[in-house]
Structure 1
Amino acid sequence: MAKTKNFSTWAVSLTNFLDSGSIVAGASGLTLWTSYLKLNSVQVGWLGALSANAFGAAIGALIGGHLSDKYGRKIIYTYDMLVYMLGTLLIAFSVNFPMLLLGFLINGIAVGAGVPASWTYISESSGGNNRAKNMGISQFVWSLGPVVIFIAGTLISPLGVMGNRILFGILTFIAFVAWNLQRKLPESKEWVEQKKIEKETGEKTHPYKDLFSNMVSVKSVLFLVGVYMFWNLVAGAMGFFMPYVYETAGGLSNMQANLLQAVLWGFTALSGYFGFAKFGDKWNHRIFFFVGAAMALISWVVLAYIGMGWPALITFVTLWGISAGIGAQAWYSLWSTELFPTKYRAGAQGFMFFAVRGSAGIWSIIFPSILTGMGFKAAGTLMIIFLLVSLVIGTIWTPHTRGKSLDEITRERYGKDIETNTKKERVKKYVNQTGKNHAY
């Protein structure tokens, strides 16, 4: 049984690999596509805005989260990777800007649809004492995407645009492998039991109506969006534009920029696995979160105010790389699956991911203009402010969920404020009200 759950964690985590992989594949080739298609700064901004890094993923998350709660987590794994492959193939064979933009959009929608389902599935398949471990594994695989793609991008950078086409071809193949693995996974037992209870009781659920009609859920949404959105404004810009920044503001070559990012993501992968996955179920969450958030903040202070000399670049890559593995995204992926009931767990994530990646889309349109018009220091100062906001929100309102099952967390947080505290209690309530004996 443990081996089956471990397999499902790794199989589902391929969605995260393909999420980050598609972002950095686009980022590593941005200057190449700009030169090949003679793109202006507005077109560059739209590529970032409609990609897996922003609006594309935002739209997909809103759709995927709702479908996952209504029809099951498995429906996403049956069809999502097919959409992803359509997007990557469009990019790989692009000959003009509209074709490239459409490929980025379709790819982004597929990424967004898969993320809420994958994080929900992993969390619902975990116990109270290994949930952070399994979410940490998913973040480790997410970090491997950029490592693999940036190293591959470095090796084939002499091929120019053709090299970037090859990268998206590689992602298409990996997506095909992921599709074959994921479509064979069983449905989440938590979801199956939830739907059984709804059928027994006649309860009608609507993920977004139920989500926003409960103040506990609303507060959870505000907290999680606050922690993740402000961090992601920085990470999102970095994920798509950082090689572009290294090359334009730092004077690095495309190969140097890609290699630097590969090192950064290598640190992220290592800290995600040997940090978050190993100790997320054991260490104090508030202190753990603060350490990662503080390292991220310091890294940008160094880059923005010391400059892009190699000592500063190495310091930045080390600090940010480690912080990203134990920072806001890892905690968000864990907390966002813990703080909501099963009936709208994926839908809540879909809405929040929509808000977070949507804000990143707006920032992606604005960021290139700030970078070229006001300079890197001004852009870096805004990054520092965003990271400080995330740090403060996450540290003050850290939830106490360590070592608890999802049902325990739901019961403690919602109590009698929600109609359904636990699955068995819902059946008992129905039996008491109707006198009908439905076996659980």
Structure 2
Amino acid sequence: MAGTRPIPRPLWKAAALSGMASYLDAGLIVSISVNLAVYRDSYGMGVWMAGAISAIVTGCIAVGSLVGGRLADLFGRRRVYNWDIFCFAIGALVITFAPDDITLLAGVLVAGLAAGADLPTSLAVVSDAAPSWARGRLVAFTQVMWMLGITVAIFLGFALSTTGMTGARLITGQLALAALVTWAMRSRLKPADAPSETDTGTVAESISLKGVWTRAAMLPMAATFVFYVTWGLGANTFGQFGTYLLVTVSDASQSLATGINLAFIPIGVLLTFAFVRVADSPWRDRLFHVAAVVQILAFVIASLTAGALAGMLVFFVLYQLSNPFAGEANYKVWSQLTLPADTRGTTQGLTYALSRGVFAVAAFFTPALADHSPSVLLWTITACMTAAAFAGVFIIRVLVPRSANTVPDRAGLRVPST
């Protein structure tokens, strides 16, 4: 089985450095969420400023994904790959040492745009560096980094919950430090003699925007977008409002709601590692069919019980068991397998940007919809998850086999062995 072939350590290093984009993306969103009440009290922010900061994080990541992916295809993925992580570090430092809410907002703008730009660029970079027999595992490993970003931010928030602004600065400060270390290590990566990049690091002239609007790019871009946006509406809702829904709909205490979320994090991390192991084997897509059904069942149970605590506990168990095998990790792998190599940055940047924009709009209405009718909210998400399952099946049955012999390998980076 192809998935059992060992991957050299330098390629795992490249995957980890690219995966830092996912770590910082998740860490930024969660840290702002964890620190928001502290910022509000310390800076005397009004409700509109607090809401603006929350919305701007998601909005900037969307814009950054759109612009950054295209810039990477135009000016060289390695060049953009290095600069966006450095810009993120600057934004995170501004957030960390912000003396007022206006400075905080400026830092969020910079960090959000840079985080968004790094997402499609880093995935394209690790895909370029990977041989076809290792691409699934290396791309899937970035999802492990995403889970770690969430884990570190939540646990630091829990451990530093009584320390006020000192704790808030430490939580965002570790993101700045991680970004600076990653920038230093990425700078050591050397460009390979790839036919798609010139010696100056820019992409060849044949790669133009019109290449995005071909059937070869449009069909997989549309299919992966439909999967990601429908799956993500459910995942993003419970990522941002899981604790909120447990408290307001399920009548759980704040400590119980937080504990439920924390309890399932290790399960998610371990199962994401399991997905990495099968990401280059036939089991990747076989497990998707099973996991997608279980994931839909989880939301059906939550919907049938109208968000009652017992039903939500069953939901969380089933969702955490299925999500790693029928979620964002699949989207990342399928995108790299099916999208044309030369426009991966642009096309995946488009799907990221459009999806994150939809998530931002949906998040604005979620509290009001939950207050009006939890059942309507949950059944809507169930319908989205069902649509995601059908989109995933189409990608597996049609696009992955079709692209197996048409998506060429590229060598975008050469990683030093020392």
**Contact kept in structure 2, 1:27 and 1:243, CA below 8 Å:** no
Q: 1:156 to 1:84 in 2, by over 3 A?
A: same
Q: Give distance in 2, aligned partners of 1:47 and 1:272.
A: 30
Q: Give distance in 2, aligned partners of 1:244 and 1:31.
A: 14
Q: Which deviates more, 300-309 or 287-296? A: 300-309
Q: 1:302 to 1:221 in 2, by over 3 A?
A: same
Compare CA radii of gyration and give the structure with the larger one: 1
Q: Give distance in 1, aligned partners of 2:266 and 2:401.
A: 29
Q: Counterpart of 1:194?
A: 196
Q: Counterpart of 1:295?
A: 294
**Contact kept in structure 2, 1:141 and 1:269, CA below 8 Å:** no
Q: How big is each residue's C-alpha offset from its partner over 1:94-136, in whole Å with a ceiling of 9 and x where there is no partner?
A: 4554444333332221111111111111222222222211122
Q: Give distance in 1, aligned partners of 2:221 and 2:81.
A: 26
The one of 386, 394, 413 aligned to 1:388: 386
Match runs of 1:353-364 below 5 Å: 353-364=352-363
**Contact kept in structure 2, 1:65 and 1:117, CA below 8 Å:** yes
Is 1:220–2:226 an aligned residue pair? no
Q: Counterpart of 1:409?
A: 406
Q: Give distance in 2, aligned partners of 1:300 and 1:35.
A: 36
Q: Counterpart of 1:13?
A: 19
Deviation of the 1:186 alpha carbon: 2.0
Is 1:61–2:59 an aligned residue pair? no
Match runs of 1:156-175 below 5 Å: 156-175=160-179
Is 1:242–2:242 an aligned residue pair? yes
AA aligned to 2:187 is: R
Q: Give distance in 1, aligned partners of 2:216 and 2:338.
A: 9
Q: 1:80 to 1:257 in 2, by over 3 A?
A: farther
Q: 1:252 to 1:217 in 2, by over 3 A?
A: same
Q: Counterpart of 2:324?
A: 325
**Contact kept in structure 1, 2:221 and 2:339, CA below 8 Å:** no
Q: Give distance in 1, aligned partners of 2:256 and 2:169.
A: 20
Q: Counterpart of 1:272?
A: 272
Q: Counterpart of 2:146?
A: 142
TM norm structure 1: 0.81
The one of 186, 189, 194 aligned to 1:185: 189
SS at match of 2:206: coil
Q: Size of the alignment, in residue pairs?
A: 401
Deviation of the 1:155 alpha carbon: 1.3
Q: Give distance in 2, aligned partners of 1:91 and 1:128.
A: 40
Deviation of the 1:23 alpha carbon: 1.5
**Contact kept in structure 2, 1:226 and 1:393, CA below 8 Å:** yes
TM norm structure 2: 0.85
Q: Counterpart of 1:427?
A: none
Q: 1:17 to 1:67 in 2, by over 3 A?
A: same
Q: Which deviates more, 233-242 or 6-15? A: 233-242
Q: 1:9 to 1:366 in 2, by over 3 A?
A: same
Q: How big is each residue's C-alpha offset from its partner over 1:129-160, in whole Å with a ceiling of 9 and x where there is no partner?
A: 22211122111121111112212211111234
Deviation of the 1:339 alpha carbon: 1.7
Q: Give distance in 2, aligned partners of 1:97 and 1:253.
A: 30
Q: How big is each residue's C-alpha offset from its partner over 1:223-256, in whole Å with a ceiling of 9 and x where there is no partner?
A: 1110001111222233333333344444556554
Deviation of the 1:398 alpha carbon: 2.0
Deviation of the 1:56 alpha carbon: 1.0
Deviation of the 1:281 alpha carbon: 1.7
Q: Counterpart of 1:103?
A: 107
Q: Counterpart of 2:212?
A: 211
Q: 1:170 to 1:310 in 2, by over 3 A?
A: farther
AA aligned to 1:26 is: I
Q: Counterpart of 1:260?
A: 260
Q: 1:157 to 1:304 in 2, by over 3 A?
A: farther
